[in-house]
Amino acid sequence: MSLRPVCLSLLLACGGGDKDSGGTAVLDPTEYLAEYPSAFCAVLQQCESDSFEASYGGDLQLCVDEITTWGRDRINRDCGFDGGAAGICVDALEHVDCGDWSSGAYQDSCGAIIDC
């Protein structure tokens, strides 16, 4: 089973604060596209290695490039973008373990970032 549709649908998911105040940074679209794909793909590779291998041939950069392109295309279509939600999601992905990933618990930290 290919993870690509799942990965791309999860790009829609991920749902503020200020890092200086101890919260999560609000990300602009450029920052989000620089941080989210690599965080997402790293967790995907670690937690679903067989599916990752099948979908991306084990190539982390291929995953990052695909997720980045998909997100950029949607943002460039003037879809709504929530920078606070983006920051929360990236932070959650940086701290998720495979149990949280498998159960979908990390998605509680992710809401609609890109709304088309």
Number of structural domains the chain divides into = 1
Evaluate whether 93 touches 36 at the Cβ level (below 8 Å): yes
HSE-up (13 A, CA, CB side) for residue 103: 8
Domain-embedded: residue 79: yes
Domain-embedded: residue 33: yes
Neighbours of 52 (CB within 10 A): 22
Structural domain of 71: 26-108
Q: What is the pTM of this model?
A: 0.77
Domain-embedded: residue 89: yes
Domain-embedded: residue 56: yes
Domain-embedded: residue 15: no
The values of phi and psi at residue 48, to 5°, are: -135, 60
Domain-embedded: residue 5: no
Q: Which residue has the tokens 């599916």?
A: 51
When pLDDT is averaged across residues 4-16 and rounded to a whole number, the result is 43
pLDDT at 9: 44
Domain-embedded: residue 2: no
Q: What is the 3-state secondary structure (H, E, C) of the chain?
A: CCCHHHHHHHHHECCCCCHHHCCCCCCCHHHHHHHHHHHHHHHHHHHCHHHHHHHHCCCHHHHHHHHHHHHHHHHHCCCEECHHHHHHHHHHHHHCCHHHHHHCHHHHHCCECEEC
pLDDT at 111: 64
Q: Which two tokens mark 114?
A: 């890109």
pLDDT at 78: 83
Domain-embedded: residue 47: yes
Condensed to tens digits (0 to 9), the pLDDT of residues 68-104 reads 999 999 999 988 999 999 999 999 898 889 998 888 8
